[in-house]
Amino acid sequence: MNVDKSNARVRRMFGQIAPKYDRMNHLLSLNIDYYWRWRTTRLIDVNCAAPILDVCTGTGDLALAFHRRTRGRTRVVGADFCREMLEVGEQKKRRAGIADRLAFVEADAQELPFDDDQFQLVSVAFGLRNVADTDRGLREMARVCRPGGQVAVLEFSMPRWQPLRAIYAWYFRHVLPRLGQLLARNDESAYNYLPQSVGEFPSGDALAQRMEDAGLQRVSYRALTMGVASLYVGVK
């Protein structure tokens, strides 16, 4: 049975865990998620000429990372359809003293409220697998990206090297769901959903092909932290 990724279920689920979302991400990833976002902002060339869009931004960690990377000189927009997550992002923005150049917008990645060819970079971190229609989400990301711009997808993947693959799979399927549900109780089994959604989501060449089918070219990907996560980049 396929995991339920309907808009209503995903919105409810992330709305319930929003207050503890960041704390749980850092705990369950042993703080490696900080590194993945930092590394993403270093691997992708950005400039001050055009804005950046981060979709499925959640509480805005990657949007904030790009804001820091560009030293606030580039307009960054974080879009998500879960208002509770965006409210946490707004709190982080205020604590950081960011008055402008970073905006949060409530929007569905499958129907972005932006004109064609607007952004030099359209990114998504650990969120594309939550979009009900992956291909539609990718097409929307490509649509609003400028010609010559980039679309970047940071997502979980399974390590290829044994015994790390076996250890990681055991932790991801058995420890993480129980620990997550214990510390961030919710009605939607959010931390059971996580390994299920990762297991069903395409990775490697399969995801690269989906990005090419969405209209992107020169799609490449690289493993991070021995394959626990992967970064995919394509050019419009």
Tens of pLDDT, residues 12-29: 999 999 999 998 888 878
Return the domain boundaries, the chain: 7-235
Segment among 141-150, 155-164, 202-211 with least mean pLDDT:
155-164
pLDDT at position 195 is 82
To which residue do tokens 């961030």 refer? 184
**How far, CA to CA in Å, does 50 sit from each of 9, 37, 121, 138, 224?**
34, 20, 8, 20, 27
Q: What pLDDT score was predicted for residue 62?
A: 98
Residue 27: per-residue pLDDT: 82
pLDDT for residue 128: 97
Beta bridge partners of 76: 52, 102
- What is the mean pLDDT of the segment spanning 57-61? 98
Give the pLDDT score at 171.
Answer: 83
Q: Which distant-in-sequence residues (6+ apart) come within 8 Å of 8 by Cβ?
A: none
Comparison of pLDDT for 90 and 170, the residue scoring more: 90
Pairing verdict, β 217-224 and 119-125: unpaired
Q: Cα(207)–Cα(221) distance, rounded to whole angstroms?
A: 9
What architecture does CATH give domain 7-235?
3-Layer(aba) Sandwich (3.40)
For residue 30, the 8-state DSSP code is T
* Span 137-157, average pLDDT: 97
Which pTM does this prediction carry? 0.94
| Mean per-residue pLDDT, 209-216 | 98
Residue 1 has pLDDT above 70, yes or no: no
Q: What does the mean pLDDT of the chain come to?
A: 92
C-alpha triplet 229, 234, 235: angle, nearest 5°: 155
Statement: residue 168 has pLDDT above 70: yes
Averaged pLDDT for residues 41-63: 96
pLDDT of residue 114: 98
